[in-house]
Structure 1
Amino acid sequence: MTTELRGLPREIVAGSGWHAFAYRAANTSDRVIASLSASVELRSWDRKNLQDETTKHITVQWYDSRTRRWEPLPADHGYFARTTGLGPRASADASLRLRIDAAAPAGSGVAFQTGFFSDQDRTCGYAAGAHYSFAVLTAGSRLSTDEDARATAAGPEKAAAPTTTVNRPAPQGIPADAPATGKLASTGASSSSPLLLGVAGATIAVGAVAVAVARRGRDR
């Protein structure tokens, strides 16, 4: 299983409105992934004082095609969507967007993504995950690049076997070995790219390690 963020800007000007990006999960195996729960978390810090977290200035939403509405990510930007019955070599997408309010100071941010999955033989684990660094520019600033943020491997989990236990809980309120539940909705782009659906009643489950990894990546 691989997961990634696509189209997250490398620089974002405070007060410049919404910026679209996407989460993609891909089944790289020859087995059906019975269940996949998508996780995204964002954090930002003041450039002058890295101890001063400025995440309160960031709003992140994802598009739920069932309700046709943009929905907020969970309070701590953890598990937000789920797909089932993802076939061999197939992928599933979720559309996201973020904005940074005009009062945000210059600084830097990190987006962390991963996914918790189980297959039909009840093997479960995490996608390797990655974090993406981006710069926050003060309102009215001019961009120096239009490139997307680049992925950096999230550490020890990159080489972990699917059954390796990591220091992060599985999604709460979602059975880790949930069976496939039928045909998935299409994003409209391709029948091989089903949309990740909302996680009803799931609670935040990205642990301290995810945050620590993202912060260590920013401070390097």
Structure 2
Amino acid sequence: MKIRRILATAVAAAVTTPAFMLSATPAFADDKPAAQTQQKPSIAELEKAAAAAKAAYDDAVAAESAAHAALEALLSDTAPLAVAAKAAEAAAADAATAKTEADQAVVDAKAAVDALPETATEEEKTAAATTLTEAEAAAVAAGEAKAAADAKVVEALDARDDERVAAARTLGQAQKATKAALAAKTAADEALAKAKAEGGEGGEDGPFCVAEAKLTMVLTGLPSTVAAGTKVDFNLRVTNGTDKTMDKVLPFATIEATDRSGLKGIDDLVHLQWLSASSSTWKTVDNRHYMDTISPLKAGAHADVKMRLTIDASAPAGNGVTFVGGDYFNDPNGDCGSADFERYEFLIAAAGSKPGKVDDAKPGKVDDAKPGKTKPNTSDLKPQSGATASPVSGSLAATGSSSATSQLALASGAALAIGAGAVFVVRRRKAGSHA
């Protein structure tokens, strides 16, 4: 009977935001109020940051290459532990042959005893009995030797496979690091290019955006499980929890998905859309641009954006995650800020499944180690005109989505992924032969 041993599961899926987000996107400063601004970095500072990001990416690529080479070497039949395992299997095969021969010797000895004629002498009977006893003792010893050899095979194979699994995990981590480094490098390059295009040198050219925890993006109605072949409508609520009007608020969303193993991305089978206030046509989220501008968003008020998730019927069971965030800008003083980036994880059930009544997907920060445990900060929410959380008098701008690439998108880049690289090491062997 064949035994299938799966020696490694997928390398842990991860959602990462590069540290360079602090330079390429709104600068986050927890100890500074939202109204306070920082000066833009100079071209020289951005060039230095871009060079550092490139060096980090080059190092990550080299580390990934080394990890790949190490795994290839360990998968080779000439690797020391692979050679040791092969030798153990050969010894076990010899022990098995010896055991078979010893067992046959017992059978032959018993047959010889049974075949003795009635006229056999005592010496002949004694000799045959002695031969049988010695054969039985040899068979017992051969059995013990075979058991010991089999145990050494298991030990050698486990040692070989453990080494390969460790190397596979190292490669998966290196691939993840390369992906994050590439996102950081891309963000740094784009920030530098943008600054050069604008001709800015920092200093007094304008403010640099800061974090605004009281600008929140909350999804409601997104189920925690969605079956393939179905679509669900839900809502993105954008709330200004500060005590000042935000002239322009630009929501942002992105979505990613993998199959259940985390090995295969299925982003092309999941579709996230939003509905503009100025049109009845659903628009596809492109993962790089803002949705329509909310203008204005008064203090203590909120605005809703209709969202829709459609999953193709061909999508396998798996996992998905939607990220939401946004920025605000004020005229004419130019202060600006960004909402915390939130993630909402959900399961993808196979087509034809009926999940039934399920809870809504729970929010969590992108850097939260325990998804779904962190809720958006909406404390100190101040109502508008005495009405708590009343819709704003302004609306989503009718001019269409912003052509500017979202600062959040620049920061997330390719690093916002679930199901980063993973390696499965599989061995089949047949009982008795150890093949």
Q: Which category of TM-score, normalised to the shorter sequence, fits these structures?
A: 0.7 to 0.9
Matching residue within 239, 244, 262 for 1:26: 239
- Structure ranking higher in helix proportion: 2
In the alignment, which residue of structure 2 is the partner of 1:36? 249
Tell me, in whole angstroms, the C-alpha distance in 2 between the residues paired with 1:106 and 1:24: 29
The gaps in structure 1 that reach 5 residues or longer are 159-189
Matching residue within 276, 284, 295 for 1:64: 276
Q: How many residues align?
A: 184
In the alignment, which residue of structure 1 is the partner of 2:212? none
- Tell whether the 8 Å contact from 1:94 to 1:195 is kept in structure 2 after alignment: no
In the alignment, which residue of structure 2 is the partner of 1:142? 354
1:132 equivalent in alignment to 2:333: no
Matching residue within 324, 344, 358 for 1:113: 324
1:4 equivalent in alignment to 2:218: yes
Q: 1:71 to 1:138 in 2, by over 3 A?
A: same
Q: What amino acid maps onto 1:68 in structure 2?
A: S
Q: In terms of Rg, which structure is larger?
A: 2
Cα deviation code 1:199-220 (max 9, x no counterpart): 445154312536535638xx9x
- Structure ranking higher in strand proportion: 1
Q: Give the drift of 1:6.
A: 1.3
Cα deviation code 1:35-91 (max 9, x no counterpart): 11110100000112x2311011112221123122222222x3641221112111011
1:202 equivalent in alignment to 2:202: no
Q: Give the drift of 1:197.
A: 3.6
Tell me, in whole angstroms, the C-alpha distance in 1 between the residues paired with 2:416 and 2:393: 29
The gaps in structure 2 that reach 5 residues or longer are 1-214, 369-373, 375-389, 423-435
Q: What amino acid maps onto 1:15 in structure 2?
A: G
TM-score using structure 1 length: 0.73
Q: 1:193 to 1:26 in 2, by over 3 A?
A: farther
Q: Secondary structure at the match of 1:59?
A: strand
Cα deviation code 1:158-185 (max 9, x no counterpart): 9xxxxxxxxxxxxxxxxxxxxxxxxxxx
Q: 1:213 to 1:105 in 2, by over 3 A?
A: same
In the alignment, which residue of structure 2 is the partner of 1:181? none
Q: Give the drift of 1:98.
A: 1.2
TM-score using structure 2 length: 0.39
- Tell whether the 8 Å contact from 1:10 to 1:145 is kept in structure 2 after alignment: no
Tell me, in whole angstroms, the C-alpha distance in 2 between the residues paired with 1:105 and 1:208: 29
- Tell whether the 8 Å contact from 1:109 to 1:134 is kept in structure 2 after alignment: yes
Q: Secondary structure at the match of 2:244?
A: coil
Matching residue within 120, 123, 138 for 2:335: 123
Q: 1:153 to 1:101 in 2, by over 3 A?
A: same
Tell me, in whole angstroms, the C-alpha distance in 1 between the residues paired with 2:280 and 2:418: 34
In the alignment, which residue of structure 1 is the partner of 2:267? 55
Tell me, in whole angstroms, the C-alpha distance in 2 between the residues paired with 1:13 and 1:143: 7
Tell me, in whole angstroms, the C-alpha distance in 1 between the residues paired with 2:264 and 2:224: 21
In the alignment, which residue of structure 2 is the partner of 1:180? none
Moved over 6 A (4+): none
Q: What amino acid maps onto 1:7 in structure 2?
A: G
